[in-house]
Amino acid sequence: MKSLKAKKCKCCGEVFQPFRSLQQVCGWDCAINLSKPKQLKKSDVLTKADYIKILQRNVNTIVREIDKDFPCMACGEHRQTYHASHYYHAGGHSWMRFNFLNIWSCCVPCNVHLSGNLSHYQINLVKIGVFDILQNEYKIKRNIKYTKDDIKDAVNKIKHAKREWKKVYKTKLTNDERIGVRLWFNEQIGIYK
């Protein structure tokens, strides 16, 4: 009987002399280890849509923190809870979805029941001097398709930027600072180049 050629173990990498032609491992311990299901990392399981949700959640949280001492952008009332409201809605204007200049805190009645109360929203954006900047951003219709890795990278960048921002700003922001911080976050996440 002809002896089989030495092989490299699929589990530990050691060279061994197989007894059978289809043998892939050097012994029982390696066979058991090879048969165990591999541990998947959370990042292996998440889809692009999952990362978009995570990024949107982070963006919305930051917007509410930036605007925490200010009234609703639409009606001007101080309320108990706020939503991060898009002036240009994310569904029809995907290139504006994560743009911080497009997202401001609005009360639940304005955002949910009045569909953003856009006429008053626009008036208040004009008052603080953001509407023209936002219009210019909107006109640059970015027809970019982001990959899963792009969105995953933006999630990591925004988490880091949030930590950096918390170190710097500890007091109530002025309107100019709110605009500056939004522009800075847009730059940090790297989606709007």
Model confidence over 95-144: pLDDT tens digits? 889 999 999 999 999 999 999 999 999 999 999 999 999 998 888 766 66
Pairing between β-strand 7-8 and β-strand 82-86 as defined by DSSP bridges: unpaired
Same domain, 23 and 118: no
Same domain, 50 and 78: yes
10 Å CB burial of residue 73 (0-12, 13-18, 19+) is buried
CB 133, CB 175: distance < 8 Å: no
CB 55, CB 151: distance < 8 Å: yes
1 in any annotated domain:
no
Does position 1 have pLDDT exceeding 60, yes or no? no
Does position 193 have pLDDT exceeding 60, yes or no? no
Same domain, 101 and 14: no
Same domain, 65 and 116: yes
Kindly report, residue by residue over 44-81, the tens digit of the pLDDT.
789 999 999 999 999 999 999 999 889 999 999 998 89
Same domain, 144 and 174: yes
pTM of the entire predicted model? 0.75
Same domain, 77 and 31: no
pLDDT band at 43 (very low <50, low <70, confident <90, very high): low
Kindly report, residue by residue over 143-183, the tens digit of the pLDDT.
667 889 999 999 999 999 999 988 887 778 888 999 999 99
Does position 185 have pLDDT exceeding 70, yes or no? yes
